[in-house]
Amino acid sequence: MADARTGKPTDRPGPEGVEASVEASVEAIFREEHGRLLASLVRRFGDLDLAEEVASEAIEAALVHWPVGGVPPKPGAWLMTTARRRAVDRLRRDKAYAARLAVMQVEAERAAPAPAAGAGDEMPDERLQLFFTCAHPALHADDRGALMLRCLAGLTTPEVARAFLVPSATMGKRIVRAKKKIREARIPFRVPDADELPERLPGVLQVIYSIFTEGYAASSGPHLQRLDLAEEAIRLARILRRLLPAERELAGLLALMLLVHARRDARTGPEGDLVLLDEQDRARWDRAMIEEGRGLVAAALAGGPPGPYGVQAAIAALHDEAADVATTDWPQIVALYDVLLALAPSPVVEVNRAAAVALRDGPEAGLALLDALAGEPRLRAYSPYVSARADLLQRLGRFPEAAAAYRAALALAGTEPERAHLRRRLAAVESAPPDRV
């Protein structure tokens, strides 16, 4: 193969191979560095829109330069340097914009209290500062989560939309609205004072869990799981727990994520196909992670009424402690779902409770509960609800109805492993003997 510029022979892969390799490297590095890059840029320049724009420009520059010179030894530092230069160039061109940012930064520094002794050691990651900024009470609750998932975790707008069960256009408007509010309200980039934490912490926990949920069950793409996101959420929760060791709901959230993530290796087969809970090889579950999670459940439930994350962690612990689905303590799980519904009612919790009731009392009882939710608009595009109905219809031998439900679930499924699983289930009910229909 000849070099396109010199005509000399070369052993390097062709342009398409180089481009694909570099794009893969950039994507992997971007996933790892995006939140850190954005947080550092916001910290320095005080403007989220500017930070996002120059971060994107740095990625584009990498796609131009890295195929020629190779991926640098410290790609994150390269991206940071490039993004900062782009930001400085933009501010030099727009003097009015630069002056406005300077005023905002001075005002923010005056409004922010002096950091407490040792605070820097306890909160070492600027990304968590950006989490708390985006969780400011001046923002609408839905906007906080949308903005943090988009900016800190690097999720696309459609991925964030699916996490919140809303259309992509609606989510795009929320993200724009949140950034505008931060800019206009001049919300400072800092860790809140101790007296502000009770109000701000729930929003941060919600978003960390949303990131984990996207990692546990990806909203789209070729893979069922995005382990990088799940592990990032766990890492952030660990850092936050070191800062706030007395917060029981934080212990509950970390416990929940550990107990669920412990099953990661058993959730997919050799080809990445979906393996349901009743078919998983429990020997592949991470027992060390389960034990850590169980210890945190005890901390989450001790010393007062439980919170939603603590209750969910207790449910996950019952699953992880059981030898198989048949010996799982379904009565206790249903009772815990009753507690969870009282604490944090939602149609998704109703769906999960119905599935537990089906295993406690039989598929007909579970199906009755699912059918009672048919008018809930938030479940119309929720594939797990539709596929849960299909499964119970199949177990009851109502194959034509099960086939229709599987087709509906297939149209809603976001990842290829989910679609492949549903196609197999659909084929099974379509080929069922007529005398069983």
Enumerate the domain spans of the chain.
1-110, 125-220
For position 31, what pLDDT does the model report?
Answer: 64
Measured CA distances, 387 to 128, 267, 384 (Å)? 36, 17, 5
293, 285 contact by CB (below 8 A): no
Q: Residue 112 pLDDT > 60, yes or no?
A: no
Question: Which has more confidence, 221 or 298?
Answer: 298
Orientation of helix 75-93 relative to helix 48-69, angle to 10°: 130
pLDDT tens for each residue of 29-82 = 776 677 778 888 887 887 888 888 888 888 888 888 888 888 888 888 898 899
Mean pLDDT of 213-239: 87
Measured CA distances, 334 to 77, 315, 356, 358 (Å)? 50, 9, 6, 10
| Residue owning tokens 């509950």 | 252
Average of per-residue pLDDT values in the chain: 84
For position 98, what pLDDT does the model report?
Answer: 66
How many whole angstroms separate alpha carbon 406 and alpha carbon 404?
6
Residue 64, token pair as written in the block: 């131009």
Q: What percent of the chain has pLDDT over 70?
A: 85
CATH class label, 125-220: mainly alpha
How many whole angstroms separate alpha carbon 146 and alpha carbon 152?
10
pTM for the structure as a whole: 0.73
What residues contact residue 437 under an 8 Å CB cut-off, 6+ apart? Answer: 397, 398, 399, 400
- For 161: left if phi > 0, alpha if psi spans -120 to 50, otherwise beta; the answer is alpha
For position 43, what pLDDT does the model report?
Answer: 79
| Residue owning tokens 């009770």 | 198
The residues with which 154 forms a beta bridge, in sequence order, are none
Q: Residue 350 pLDDT > 80, yes or no?
A: yes
Question: Which has more confidence, 156 or 417?
Answer: 417
For position 141, what pLDDT does the model report?
Answer: 76
pLDDT tens for each residue of 172-186 = 999 989 888 888 887
